[in-house]
Amino acid sequence: MTSKDLVIARIMAGQRRFQAAMARDRSSPFFSVNLTMQQLKILFTLRLHGGTGGQELAHLMGVSPATMTGIVDRLVAAHYVTRREDPQDRRVRRVQLTPAGDELIDGLMTAGEEHQTRILSRLSVDELTVVADAMEIMQRALAEDEAAGTEPSRH
Amino acid sequence: MTSKDLVIARIMAGQRRFQAAMARDRSSPFFSVNLTMQQLKILFTLRLHGGTGGQELAHLMGVSPATMTGIVDRLVAAHYVTRREDPQDRRVRRVQLTPAGDELIDGLMTAGEEHQTRILSRLSVDELTVVADAMEIMQRALAEDEAAGTEPSRH
DNA sequence: CCGGTTAGTTTGCCTTACGCTAATATTTCG
DNA sequence: CGAAATATTAGCGTAAGGCAAACTAACCGG
């Protein structure tokens, strides 16, 4: 185990503790989601893909097109997605998140931000600067990671 | 807007970008969860509370005791929770996560760790040290926050 | 233009899960 | 001992997902 590995392990342990503290916040939007798991999975999938055709979505979710029609019907009725004819191929129904759908996913993904902000507010300017530097470092590494290797694993 | 606020805003924006990149990882365990939302909410609730009586759990979830009996039946059958008689009051059924239940919740809460570890591996030792320092700073602030004010908002 | 293929929808059927009320049995406690 | 509390069972209803089969509209190549 290299010294880099040790530091990484320590960082990840800290991250886990942080995550556990966030999870203790009972105001998580997760508890107020009133969708089924399949519906939520579909919303996340649409977020990942920026919208898909109906056939493709059925395939991604591993269900029949008939089933997907029903599910999308209900998501449209709930105003979380839109279903539109594809201009290039009128057979295809493009399914996309609405702003409300986006909001719901964002809310789940950014749960705990208030809590985090509150914790950051406790820090001095010097401390905040260290945290900000660390964030810059991580962003750069993330950008490199995406430029270098996520293309093949993207799909 | 103070200069602290500006730095905090920048940190949170970075955090959001980071989160979005993690969400793009299709290997998220979320997609392989085959529980209903209500079941998952109950597992998270049990994690938060470390186990509860049946009546309490029904109340927390806002359903009748009869309904909760059925749901817990199914979670017991799936080996995610145990149900035991409370030694202090034999009317009460204490419901708790099993190790498998814990694992499932942990998996969801720590999703993306591999991805994060990979990104951290790209950093030099100096850079990692900055990130580790930042993490220390955050942990200290978190500890202070918990010592200071989470008691009243805990419930 | 036509025939074969593709994409999506409808219909009908089935299964699972949740949710409730009412009734019941056991346990607790004043 | 009786009333209240806890959990379970039975019965009923609704919603959602899931499939196969049939159907319609659209696409595309010969």
Whole-complex ipTM:
0.86
- Residue A1: what pLDDT? 67
- A9-18 per-position pLDDT tens digit: 888 888 888 8
pLDDT at B149: 66
Q: What is the pLDDT of residue B69?
A: 97
Please tell me whether any atom of strand C lies within 7 Å of the Cβ of A56.
yes
* Mean pLDDT, rounded, for B113-134: 89
Instruction: State the alpha helices, DSSP H only, in A1-124.
Output: 3-23, 37-49, 54-61, 65-77, 99-109, 113-121
Which of A 90-149 lie inside 8 A of B, CB atoms? 109-110, 113, 116-123, 125, 127-139, 141-142, 144-146
* Per-residue model confidence (pLDDT) at position A94: 96
Between A152 and A88, whose confidence is greater? Answer: A88
Please indicate whether, in this complex, the C-beta atoms of A12 and B120 are within 8 angstroms of each other: yes
Whether B7 sits inside 8 A of A132 (CB atoms) is: yes
| % of chain B beyond a pLDDT of 70 | 93
CATH of the domain spanning B12-111, picked from 3.40.50.1000, 3.90.1570.10, 2.60.120.620, 1.10.10.10: 1.10.10.10
Q: Round and report the angstrom distance from CA (B89) to C1' (D3).
A: 18
Of B133, B59, B132, nearest to B92 (Cα)?
B59
Option in A119, A135, A138 nearest B141 (CB): A119
Q: What pLDDT score does A86 carry?
A: 94
Contact A33 B37 (CB under 8 A): yes
CA distances from B139 to A16, A57, B8, B40, B148 (A): 11, 41, 16, 28, 14
Q: Name the architecture of domain A33-111.
A: Orthogonal Bundle (1.10)
The torsion region of residue B48 among left (phi > 0), alpha (psi -120 to 50) and beta comes to: alpha
What is chain A's mean pLDDT, rounded? 88
Cβ–Cβ below 8 Å for B130 and A137: yes
Kindly state the percentage of chain B with pLDDT values over 90. 57
Give the mean model confidence (pLDDT) for residues A12-38: 84
pLDDT reported for residue B152: 44
- Determine the distance between A83 (CA) and D29 (C1') in angstroms: 29
pLDDT tens digits, A39-77: 999 999 999 899 999 999 999 999 999 999 999 999 999
On whether any CB of chain A is under 8 Å from the CB of B10, the answer is yes
Per-residue pLDDT of B13-58, as tens digits, reads: 888 888 778 777 666 889 999 999 999 999 999 998 999 999 999 9
Confidence tier at B155 by pLDDT (50, 70, 90): very low
Nearest-angstrom CA–CA distance, B133 and B127: 10
Strand C positions with any atom < 7 Å from protein CB? Answer: 6-12, 17-23, 26-29
Region A124-148: mean pLDDT is 90
**What 3 state SS string does B38-51 have?**
HHHHHHHHHHHHCC
Q: How would residue A27 be classed by pLDDT, with cut points 50, 70 and 90?
A: low
Q: Which residues of B touch A150 (CB under 8 A)?
A: 24
State, as a whole number of angstroms, the distance between the CA of B88 and the C1' of C29: 13
Q: How far is the CA of A62 from the C1' of D15 (A)?
A: 21
Non-local CB neighbours of A46 within 8 Å, separated by 6+ positions: A52, A57, A81, A95, A96, A97, A101
CATH 1.10.10.10 placement within chain A = 33-111
| Distance of alpha carbon A74 from the chain centroid | 22
pLDDT of amino acid B26: 61
pLDDT of residue A149: 66
- B81-86 and B52-53: which strand pairing? unpaired
Instruction: Determine whether the distance from the CB of B66 to the nearest atom of strand C is below 7 Å.
Output: yes
Confidence class for position A153, pLDDT limits 50, 70, 90: very low
Q: Mind listing the pLDDT tens digit for each residue in B98-112?
A: 999 999 999 888 877
| pLDDT greater than 80 at residue B126 | yes
Q: In this complex, do A23 and B3 lie within 8 Å of one another by their Cβ atoms?
A: no
Per-residue pLDDT, A155: 36
Please answer yes or no on whether A14 and B44 come within 8 Å at the CB atom. no
